[in-house]
């Protein structure tokens, strides 16, 4: 396995965040990197937004600041399609990997790799949130507005989070990554309610569209090691992308996955096809001119986002599900991210009544909801 770990060219520290212990830990760890203390992080963000490629420049710089809003939010999902009742923790924002299809290019107004260092507030907000939910089962994770592990060699957040959720067994905590940055995970004691998940794709898509990310084969190997350590693992085939030769590409990855990892260690596999708001198309065209993925037959879905014309999605999903089930039977729960009831029914032969039903379905293997 080979991996180049991320280190920023420069660190900006919001003056009010200097005294947080996470800030001190990062600055100690990255003592070789230039640091600038800034009175107001908004000025730094405004400066980067004027660059020709704010996103590309932002990725080279880290901002340590405080989360002024809520750390914990419901996953926004998308209107008119089925959600899964997931909750997200916005601890670190943005991602040094540069995937052509990444929604964060459009979604985030701050282009810098941002670490929210007020972890005291994070724990307090998580306590309040989980108490308010009266210890009902829920799924929660950090991988929505950034990769959960890409900064872990700098922040060591993963172990703190795993330890926190160990005492909160009603929550199923997920770390979602494309990286091989699992040293901290491997040194942590496995936890029944933590799942380490990898985003997978066809190797060709990973090479062409996921700049900075390790090969898919290496991701599967990292997952194998983590599973061997005793953690549950999960996989997200998202976004599934149509390209010439997609059938061979996805079948090969699924084959490699089940050759390396016993299906019983897999908590779930999610599937989602390429989808994005119209405005992302211009960004992708500009930032990734050699990418061809936006030129497939993408129509406007019921949520206004572009997605593959339904017969193409059905063909893609049915093939991938067939390959997965041919290797694992029904042992791995499969679910769709942001898809319609019709797709669920036609591909998975299930008709979930809503997001609570999907949440319930995914919780069963963990002994919840029985």
Partner 1 sequence: MTISSITCNARQGRFCCHQGFKKVSSCLSRFTPKKTSLRIGSMELKETELHRINFKDDRFRISYFVELDKLKRSIAECGLLSPLLTTPRDGDLVIAAGWRRALACRDLSFSPVPCFILEEPEDGKVFLLAVLENLAAKDFNVLEKAVVLKKLKAFGMEEALILETYLPLFGIPQNLSYLDDYLAISEFDAETKAFIHTRNVSYPVIRFLLELTREERAMLIPHLRYLGQNKQREFLEFLLETSQREDLSVREILASDAIADVIQSEALPSAQKADSIRLLLRKRRYPSYSAREEAFALALKNMEWPEDIVLHHSPFFEGEEFSVRFAFKKDAEFKDKVQQLHTIAATNRITELLKTISHD
Residue ranges binding partner 1 (CB under 8 A): 49-54, 282, 286, 292, 294-297, 299-302, 309-312, 314, 340, 342, 346
Question: Which of 122, 114, 22, 137 has the alpha carbon at shortest distance from 73?
Answer: 122
DSSP tag of 345: I
Q: Nearest approach, Cβ of 86 to partner 1 (angstroms)?
A: 23
Nearer to partner 1, 120 or 354 (CB): 354
For residues 69 and 311, which CB has a smaller minimum distance to partner 1 in the complex?
311
Tokens of 73: 């939010």
Q: Are 40 and 14 in contact (CB under 8 A)?
A: yes
Decide whether 83 or 214 has the Cβ nearer to partner 1: 83
Cα angle value 10/1/321 (rounded, 5°): 105
Pairwise CA distance, residues 63 & 12, whole Å: 5
- By beta-carbon proximity to partner 1, the closer residue of 101 and 165 is 101
d(CA 160, CA 166): 10
**Least distance to partner 1, CB of residue 78, Å:** 13
Residue closer to partner 1, measured from CB, 24 or 297: 297
| Residue among 366, 90, 369 nearest 231 (CA) | 366
Q: Which residues pair with 176 in a beta bridge?
A: 197
CB of 204 to partner 1, least distance (A): 17
CB of 309 to partner 1, least distance (A): 5
**Minimum distance of partner 1 from residue 118's CB (angstroms):** 30
Q: Report how far residue 150's alpha carbon sits from residue 96's, in angstroms, rounded to the nearest whole number.
A: 8
């Amino acid at each position: 396995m080979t991996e180049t770990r991320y280190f920023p060219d420069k660190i900006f520290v919001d003056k009010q965040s200097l005294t947080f212990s996470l800030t001190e830990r990062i600055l100690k760890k990255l003592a070789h990197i230039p640091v600038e203390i800034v009175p107001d992080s908004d000025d730094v963000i405004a400066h980067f937004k004027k660059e020709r490629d704010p996103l590309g420049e932002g990725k080279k710089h880290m901002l340590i600041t405080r989360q002024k809003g809520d750390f914990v939010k419901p996953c926004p999902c998308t209107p008119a399609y089925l959600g899964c009742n997931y909750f997200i923790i916005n601890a670190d924002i943005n991602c040094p990997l540069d995937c052509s299809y990444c929604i964060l290019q459009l979604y985030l107004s701050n282009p810098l790799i941002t670490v929210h260092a007020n972890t005291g507030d994070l724990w307090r907000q998580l306590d309040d949130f989980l108490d308010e939910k009266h210890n009902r089962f829920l799924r929660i994770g950090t991988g929505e507005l950034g990769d959960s592990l890409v900064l872990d060699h700098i922040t060591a957040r993963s172990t703190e989070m795993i330890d926190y959720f160990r005492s909160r067994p009603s929550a199923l905590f997920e770390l979602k990554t494309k990286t091989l940055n699992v040293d901290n995970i491997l040194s942590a004691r496995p936890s029944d309610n933590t799942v380490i998940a990898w985003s997978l794709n066809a190797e060709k898509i990973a090479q062409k569209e996921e700049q900075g990310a390790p090969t898919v084969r290496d991701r599967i190997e990292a997952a194998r090691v983590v599973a061997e350590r005793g953690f549950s693992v999960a996989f997200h085939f998202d976004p599934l992308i149509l390209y010439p030769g997609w059938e061979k590409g996805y079948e090969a990855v699924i084959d490699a996955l089940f050759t390396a990892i016993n299906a019983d260690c897999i908590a779930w596999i999610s599937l989602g096809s390429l989808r994005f708001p119209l405005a992302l198309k211009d960004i992708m065209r500009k930032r990734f001119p050699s990418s061809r993925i936006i030129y497939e037959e993408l129509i406007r879905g019921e949520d206004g986002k572009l997605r593959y014309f339904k017969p193409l999605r059905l063909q893609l999903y049915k093939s991938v599900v067939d390959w997965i089930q041919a290797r694992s039977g029904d042992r791995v729960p499969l679910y769709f991210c942001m898809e319609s009831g019709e797709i669920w029914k036609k591909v998975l032969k299930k008709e979930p009544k809503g997001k609570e039903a999907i949440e319930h379905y995914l919780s069963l293997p963990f002994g919840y909801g029985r």
